[in-house]
Amino acid sequence: MNETTLERGLSTLGAPRRISYYELVQATNGFNESNFLGRGAFGSVYQGKLLDGEMIAVKVIDLQSEAKSKSFDAECNAMRNLRHRNLPSNVLLDENMVAHVSDFGIAKLMGEGQSKTHTQTLATIGYLAPEYGSKGIVSVKGDVYNYGIMLMEIFTRRKPIDDMFVAELSLKTWISRSLPNSIMEVMDSNLVQRTGDQIDDILTHMSSIFSLALNCCEDSPEARINMADVIATLNKIKTLVVGANTV
C-alpha cells in the first residue's frame, strides 16, 4: 500500500468520536466483570458495545498516580495523531480476524530507518527486541522483532513468558532447536488435523513460517528481514497452502 492509498483509507475514518462516560458505563454494563478483558501496568481493559452496535475496548486508568496519568495523556496523543506503520504492543482480533491496535504505551510514530532512545522500559517482557532491553533503542526493526515473536506465539500457542521458558531456554531458542526435524514438538497440536501425505505439507509450511519468524528475531537489527519481505513470504506460503487444499 502506497502513502496515497494509506492516506485515502485513513480519511474515510472521519473525525474522532466523543463518547460520554455514561455511554461507556452502559456499553460495559457498569464495567461488569463479565466484560473484563485484561489488566496492564497502568489500568484495566473492558469490552463494550455501544447503542449502535459498535464494539469497543475501554481502558480504565488509575489516575491517582501521576506517572500513570502522564502515560495516559501520551497514549491519547499517539492515538490522536496516528498514522501507524509500526507494530504496537497489543493487537486485538475482531470476529472477521481483522487485527486492531489496542495499546500505544510505547508506540513510536517514525519512518523506516529511524530510531530513538527511550530511557524507561514500558514494553512487555518477552517481546522486547535486544536493543530495546539493553539500550532503550526504539525503531522499526524493533517492531519486526515483536512481529516475529507474535508469529511464534500464534503457531505454538505458547507465550514467551510461559513458565517453561527459563534460563537459556526461550520461545525463540525452543523453536530454533526444533528446525528442521522436530517441528511437531513445538507447533500447536490443534493445527494438525490431517493425516497421511498432507501432514508433510503442513510441516513444510510450518517450517517456512517458523524460519520467517526467526528471521524477524535476529539479535542484530540490521540482520532482520524487512516487513515488505515478510508480507511477500507470507503470501507465498498462503498460495502454497491454498493450492494444496484445492488439489
Residue 172 marked in a binding site: no
93 strand-pairing partners: 99
Q: Distances from the Cα of 81 to the Cαs of 6, 7, 74, in angstroms?
A: 14, 13, 11
Distance in angstroms (rounded) separating the CA atoms of residues 222 and 53: 45
The count of residues in the chain is 247
The DSSP result for 124-140, as a single string, is PTTS--HHHHHH-EEEH
What is the grid cell recorded at 117?
532512545
DSSP 8-state symbol, 124: P
Q: Backbone phi, then psi, for 86, in 5-degree steps?
A: -110, 155
Q: What's the alpha-carbon Rg for the chain, to the nearest Å?
A: 20
Instruction: Select from 27, 43, 98, 50 the least CA-distant residue to 75.
Output: 43
- Residue 115 burial (CB count, 10 A): 17
46 strand-pairing partners: 36, 58
What is the grid cell recorded at 180?
528442521
Name the 3-class secondary structure at 61.
strand
| Residues placed in the known binding site | 59
| Residues placed in the known binding site for ATP | 59
